[in-house]
Structure 1
């Protein structure tokens, strides 16, 4: 019988049962891709991360991400959860340097912020953001995500944005409208597959006290009805705000984004958007909490 260490880490929170849960398998080098997919399906968390040695001298680990249904190229909250685990359980905090992950979209360095030897926050620098048009009727998107057409905020363009995965950004006028959203999952999944979209991400500036933006994320095309707190989608959103001129150029902007409140898993993301260079730099940070530690017992293949 093969034993595999596995962890359940709640990301973008410092408490259990909040934020976004990720499975983390820190010693995945001997696992096959089908085994990784079956483990992710068994854990049945939004995403699970599998860590192994990297062939690149400038990376500390190769990391692969799986939903219960499929492999995806990048996942923010599972990166935060993996970093937190390595720093607190595997001695990486004492190394005093960032951890660099090799992902399908490139290298992702993650900085460790500690106070008196205690980890407080981890912050990943995502790949350069991009935005592009999508030829879809906003009223149809409103119907698919389960809000009224008048709930759409026409002050902001609905676009596709990416810092790894592709996210459909849907501007909404109020937090209440976002909280009331009940998506038509099968139809939304079909739209997302047609356009190569990873998640559909609703956002509003009508945020709770202490937050700048409030968001909600649906990803039925990759097997996730709702992703509680999304590092990748909110990174893409932050890049969109910079590229579309909604954040002033030549400055460093600090955003606090809230997500997960609508489904009882509130989380907080701290995003730094640097617009001082030729291209915006997006850094997404947060805390995490290791909620479950155990072993999977794999039978013979």
Structure 2
């Protein structure tokens, strides 16, 4: 377009290009924003095709809704991509481009640019956008981008181009069942959180919190505050104070509240709900990195028996605002038994030293000690003998000694004396119980989910 056309477009907008780029859906009224978009479309008169995809769900009414736009020839400039993102109705917008960097020819790779209607994109939003772009490439198979099928492994270079500018490369793969997986940073427990402040922010009393589980900040791509509650009914009835949530997040240097319960409703392992007012969204239907942090939390604190590469399903979005958006986020941890690693951050006050060590336990061996303390099926005489390495006639010998001691006490009483047992040095060292089953360290973490097309599969937008 010639310079006169651009100047005409700016004049019709009545503001400079820089201030227009900073305009946000969250900072202006709907009328003013609609007028600006209409004037922009008249001035430039271009269109592009947008495909709407729902991630982490098998229903078009659930999950995160992502707008995917193909840009095989790098035709869009930064300001044009920002303008398109403001026009789209989805909460996440991703532009799929070929990767121009030198890479191994045998490695499939492409590039994605991440945006939101408000401009910038946070690192925690990467998983939804990357999975949506993978699904779009598998479904459409464009000629200028890598051909993806089931079993493909892909490298994605993701970048946010406005406001929070960042860039990262991640590994992804597609399994035989059509589930899309993306590798996430290894989670780490950072610190313990105060219970009273968390209860005030969530507008609940202490009876709603499951007090035998800790409230901790766990880092996985970002820092998430994990709050255990007693049931999914408590999760559905939550009406939090958004200002207090922001204050607690700033105090603990975390991004959001991730509330969970070990009371699933749709065949999963945990039922969750995420509050994220720090990033201009009160609640997210599917929080990938927060659920990855939660699964690591359950493993490190020996709450769920998790095997290496076991698929853990986290339910979310069933109480999302006025309309439920049921989502299912899959997480699998790769555990390396015997590897020396610290699962706890160095600046983790309030975290017990017992949980700061790593061992080689996986699966039911991790939760055996917790089950024994609760008096479950693990407690029995046979279990005690095995655990303490007791001889076969241990209990008979103890009964015989008790009878002999009672006879000596009665004989001394008849003689008018007080029986006092002689102190004898132990002939054998005391037999101590074995140490607690410490959880195996996490070598890698993968987040997965399925995608479906939205009802309005493809539409045109002007920019």
Residue 82 of structure 1: CA displacement? 1.8
SS at match of 1:261: coil
Q: Distance in 1 between matches of 2:85 and 2:247?
A: 23
1:71 aligns with 2:121: yes
User: Are the structure 2 counterparts of residues 199 and 105 from structure 1 closer, same or farther at C-alpha, using a change threshold of 3 Å?
Assistant: farther
Q: Distance in 2 between matches of 1:190 and 1:44?
A: 30
TM-score, length basis structure 1? 0.84
Deviation per CA, 1:118-177: give whole Å up to 9, x if none: xx321222122222015x422222221333332112222222223212222111111111
Q: Distance in 1 between matches of 2:184 and 2:316?
A: 19
1:287 aligns with 2:332: no
User: Are the structure 2 counterparts of residues 66 and 240 from structure 1 closer, same or farther at C-alpha, using a change threshold of 3 Å?
Assistant: farther
User: Are the structure 2 counterparts of residues 206 and 96 from structure 1 closer, same or farther at C-alpha, using a change threshold of 3 Å?
Assistant: closer
What is the match of residue 149 of structure 1?
Answer: 206
Match of residue 298, structure 2, among 241, 244, 254: 241
User: Are the structure 2 counterparts of residues 105 and 257 from structure 1 closer, same or farther at C-alpha, using a change threshold of 3 Å?
Assistant: farther
Q: Distance in 2 between matches of 1:193 and 1:50?
A: 32
TM-score, length basis structure 2? 0.57
Q: Is the 8 A contact 2:187 2:219 kept in 1?
A: yes
SS at match of 1:208: coil
Largest Rg, 1 or 2: 2
What is the match of residue 158 of structure 1?
Answer: 215
What is the match of residue 61 of structure 1?
Answer: 110
What is the match of residue 228 of structure 1?
Answer: 285
User: Are the structure 2 counterparts of residues 38 and 208 from structure 1 closer, same or farther at C-alpha, using a change threshold of 3 Å?
Assistant: same
What is the match of residue 2 of structure 1?
Answer: 46
SS at match of 2:291: helix
User: Are the structure 2 counterparts of residues 157 and 49 from structure 1 closer, same or farther at C-alpha, using a change threshold of 3 Å?
Assistant: farther
Q: Is the 8 A contact 1:193 1:221 kept in 2?
A: no
User: Are the structure 2 counterparts of residues 77 and 95 from structure 1 closer, same or farther at C-alpha, using a change threshold of 3 Å?
Assistant: closer
Mind listing any 5+ residue stretches in structure 1 that lack a counterpart? none
Greater percentage in strand: 1
Q: Distance in 1 between matches of 2:313 and 2:132?
A: 19
Q: Distance in 2 between matches of 1:138 and 1:111?
A: 39
SS at match of 1:210: coil
1:52 aligns with 2:97: yes
Q: How does 1:75-94 map to 2 (within 5 A)?
A: 75=125, 76-90=127-141, 92-94=147-149
SS at match of 1:60: strand
Match of residue 132, structure 1, among 178, 190, 201: 190
Residue 249 of structure 1: CA displacement? 7.8
Higher relative CO (CA 8 A, sep ≥ 6), structure 1 or 2?
1
What is the match of residue 192 of structure 1?
Answer: 249
Higher mean C-alpha displacement, 17-26 vs 45-54: 45-54
Match of residue 70, structure 2, among 26, 38, 62: 26
Greater percentage in helix: 2
Higher mean C-alpha displacement, 227-236 vs 246-255: 246-255
Q: Is the 8 A contact 2:217 2:226 kept in 1?
A: yes
Deviation per CA, 1:57-115: give whole Å up to 9, x if none: 26723334334443212422222222111211235334852222124474322211346
1:97 aligns with 2:152: yes
Mind listing any 5+ residue stretches in structure 2 that lack a counterpart? 1-44, 159-165, 340-440
Residue 231 of structure 1: CA displacement? 1.5
